[in-house]
Amino acid sequence: MAQATSQVTVDAPRSPYDRRKTTRGNFELYSWVFMRASGVVLLVLIFGHLWMNLMVGEGVHAIDFGFVAGKWASPLWQVWDLLMLWLAMIHGTNGVRTIINDYAQRDGTRMVLKGLLYLAFVVVVVLGTLVIFTFDPCPTDAPADLLASFCSAN
C-alpha cells in the first residue's frame, strides 16, 4: 500500500477549546459594554440638563445668550456639557452604526451611510468642544442688555 501522507492535525489531548476562531478582535464586545456604561451616565447627565433648562424657573422661556453665559461661567456646567456632548455623540453614533449594519444590505450603501455618520460625528464633536472652550460670555461689540449681568459688573 502506498503510504497516505495525511495532513490532518489533531490537537493535543486536553488542549483548551478555542471559542473564538476569528481575528476580528473584541471591538463589538467593548462597544456593547460602552453602550451600557455610557447609557447609565447619560441618564444622570441628560436628566440634570433637562431639569436645569426646562423645569427650573421659566423653563424654555428663560433660555437665551445670557442664560448660556451664566451656566458656562461655572466649571461644573462646562465639564457637564462637555462630558454629555462626547458621551452622547459616541453613544448615538454607535447606535446608528448598529442600525445601519442591520438594515443596509448592500456594501456600498452601508459604506456611504457610515461615512456620512462618521463625518457628522467629527464635525459635531469638534465644533461643540471648540464652542465650550472658546466661548466668550461678554463680547465687547454686543448690546449690554443681551449679556449676562456679570458682564457689566465692573
Q: By the criterion CB under 8 A, which residues form the site for other proteins?
A: 36, 39-40, 42-43, 46-47, 50, 54-55, 58-61, 63-66, 68-69, 85, 88-89, 92-93, 95-96, 99, 120, 124, 127-128, 130-131, 134-136, 139, 142-143, 146-147
CA angle, corner 63, sides to 61 and 66, nearest 5?
135
According to DSSP H, which parts of 13-141 are helical? 27-50, 65-72, 75-103, 107-134
Q: Which is nearer to other proteins, 3 or 99 (CB)?
A: 99
CB of 12 to other proteins, least distance (A): 36
Q: Nearer to other proteins by C-beta: 99 or 111?
A: 99
Q: Is the distance from CB of 52 to CB of 71 less than 8 angstroms?
A: yes
- Provide the minimum distance between the beta carbon of 116 and other proteins in the complex, in angstroms, as a whole number: 11
Residues in the chain: 154
Minimum CB distance to other proteins, residue 109 (Å): 17
Helices 27-50 and 75-103 pack at an angle, to 10 degrees, of 130
**12 vs 144 by CB, closer to other proteins:** 144
Q: Which is nearer to other proteins, 42 or 83 (CB)?
A: 42
Tell me how far the alpha carbon of residue 105 is from its chain's centroid.
Answer: 25
Report the residue number, 23 or 119, with the smaller CB distance to other proteins.
119
Least distance to other proteins, CB of residue 148, Å: 10
| Minimum distance from residue 74 beta carbon to other proteins (Å) | 15
Rounded to 5 degrees, φ, ψ at 124 are: -70, -40
Residue 40 to residue 119: CA distance in whole angstroms: 26
